């Protein structure tokens, strides 16, 4: 029994050193036996946030559990559209799922929770305007306000013009704004002609 407890304590220390969050594969790579991991889960010391992704219960609650979970499960994805708008303070919408950008051709992620909506981007459009924010100790890729606004126009038929226009209005109130980057992204993503009338009327 003491041997099991020693293994559990060692595992907890290793997980704590990683910020209290770990994936099953990472745990195994660190030398934590799956049996130890499941024992910690069954004893209530680890919480399974999503399949194969755990948080130490004694750690402080995450501020962004869904965003962190998706970032760890899909490291090649970028938070976009309504999720990015929400993070950037450019919408009053409450996202019902995580909006995630993937490059065309990238493998479809398998996540049961949280719910994720995938948006596919061309290589040229996908790589623009990516910011990396440290959320709960985890690097999370999120599109900049300018790139997010461009994406809203690009996917306006999927998210609705009411969300796009509100985002434009709230972007207008931001300081500072990078209008040069905004138009550069619009050109690359081929929505400049769609955006210009709206920008001329509001910015």
CA dist 37 to 1, 33, 42, 52, 71, Å?
Answer: 15, 7, 9, 10, 21
pLDDT at res. 142: 98
pLDDT at res. 144: 97
Tell me which residues of the chain have a pLDDT lower than 50.
1
Task: Give the whole-angstrom CA distance, residue 48 versus residue 50.
Answer: 5
pLDDT at res. 114: 85
Task: Give the whole-angstrom CA distance, residue 106 versus residue 126.
Answer: 11
pLDDT at res. 194: 95
SS (H, E, C) 21-54: EEEHHHHHHCCCCHHHHHHHHHCCCEEEEECCEE
Give residue limits of the domains in the chain. Answer: 2-56, 65-202
Q: pLDDT tens across 88-140, in order?
A: 999 999 888 999 999 999 999 888 778 999 999 999 999 999 999 988 778 89
186: buried, middle or exposed (CB in 10 Å: 19+, 13-18, 0-12)?
buried
Task: Give the whole-angstrom CA distance, residue 45 versus residue 37.
Answer: 10
Strand pairing class (21-23; 53-56): antiparallel
pLDDT at res. 119: 97
pLDDT at res. 155: 97
Task: Give the whole-angstrom CA distance, residue 80 versus residue 117.
Answer: 10
């Amino acid at each position: 029994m003491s041997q099991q407890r020693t293994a559990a304590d060692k595992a907890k220390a290793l997980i704590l050193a990683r910020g209290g969050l770990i994936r099953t594969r990472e745990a195994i790579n660190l030398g934590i036996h799956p049996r130890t991991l499941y024992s910690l889960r069954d004893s209530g010391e680890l919480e399974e946030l999503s399949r194969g992704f755990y948080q130490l219960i004694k750690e402080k609650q995450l501020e962004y559990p869904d965003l962190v979970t998706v970032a760890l499960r899909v490291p090649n994805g970028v938070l976009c559209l309504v999720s990015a708008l929400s993070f950037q303070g450019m919408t009053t919408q409450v996202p019902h799922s995580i909006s995630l950008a993937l490059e065309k051709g990238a493998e479809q992620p398998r996540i049961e929770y949280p719910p994720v909506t995938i948006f596919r981007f061309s290589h040229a459009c996908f790589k623009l305007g990516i910011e990396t924010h440290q959320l709960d100790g985890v690097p999370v890729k999120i599109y900049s306000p300018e790139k997010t606004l461009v994406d809203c126009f690009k996917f306006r038929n999927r998210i609705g013009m009411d969300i796009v226009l509100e985002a434009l209005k709230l972007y207008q109130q931001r300081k500072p704004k990078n209008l040069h980057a905004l138009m550069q992204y619009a050109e690359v993503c081929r929505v400049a002609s769609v955006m210009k009338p709206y920008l001329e009327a509001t910015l």
